[in-house]
Amino acid sequence: MSYASLMVYVEADATPERRVRLAASLADQFNAMLIGVCALAIPPPVMADGMVMDEWTDDDIELMRAKLADKGKWFRGIVGGEHRRLDWHAALDFPAETLARAARSADLVIIGQVKAAGNAYRALDPGEAILKMGRPTLVVPEGVDSLRAEHIVIGWKDTREARRAVRDALPFLQRATRVTIVEACGPGKEKTALGRLDDVARYLAHHSIKGGPKVMLEQTGSGAEQLIRIAREERADLLVTGAYGHSRLGEWIFGGMTRELLAASPICCLMSH
């Protein structure tokens, strides 16, 4: 199993060179197509006392188109090469909506971390994108420019999202030299948790992957902190987890672990919803 098409989001107002180079390196590893995506949405007119006070002009919109085109040239300049298959997709629309539509062409989508909410017209909300795309998403921390994925930690929870994440991560897991499957549980529940992890290990073995189960008792601190601590102890450079959340009255609500990993994980996270 492999990834045939990788997609990386490129912010219009930033130059995420390290993430783009990481995406290009993965495309080479998997002999995959690499697609860059960028978007800017046109803000609505500013109204006051029933009158239009500020409205984007045709010249403003042309400048936005030019910015997207320049970003496409930058992308090709960073990753271009005769041996690479590349594509570029840009749109005047909300970044999360654009990426969610474009993701139908990708096996894996690569995005960056965002520590705080930004301007929805110009900045990608990673949580919203993950919950909308229906594709596994690799979240890359700022400053990370490579991913060997030799040691992988699976943060297991007996849910649909975790099952999808493990299935979606198989191309990485099959290349890893060590895989650790972790579940946090309360006192007295270790045996039941270990039974679940043994089932996951057997599933991985069917794909020629050797994964060691590891049950940890719930400790002080958040679930994300505990998972990151285990990953560091294992010297892992990739976490595989489910992404948890839903939409309520137009607002995206995320689980605590998902929100923390999206904002603060020091290593790459592959998430599926």
Dist CA 229 CA 138 (whole Å): 19
pLDDT per residue rounded down to tens, the chain (273 residues): 799 999 999 999 999 999 999 999 999 999 999 999 999 999 887 655 555 556 778 888 999 999 999 999 999 999 986 668 999 999 999 999 999 999 999 999 999 998 766 788 999 988 889 989 999 999 999 999 999 999 999 999 999 999 999 999 999 999 999 999 998 888 888 899 899 999 999 999 999 999 888 877 666 567 788 889 888 988 999 999 999 876 654 555 566 778 888 888 999 999 999
State both tokens at 168.
Answer: 């979606």
Sequence-distant (≥ 6) Cβ neighbours of residue 8 within 8 angstroms: 19, 20, 23, 34, 35, 36, 37, 109, 110, 111
Strand partners, 39: 91
Confirm if 178 and 151 have CB atoms less than 8 A apart. yes
Domain ranges of the chain: 5-138, 151-272
The predicted pLDDT at position 259 comes to 85
Which CATH topology does 151-272 take?
A: Rossmann fold (3.40.50)
Cα angle: 104, vertex 267, 235; to 5 degrees:
130
Q: Write out the two tokens for 264.
A: 């603060």
Return the CATH superfamily for domain 5-138. HUPs (3.40.50.620)
**Sequence-separated (6 or more) residues with CB below 8 Å from residue 136:** 107, 108, 109, 164, 165, 168, 169, 270, 271, 272
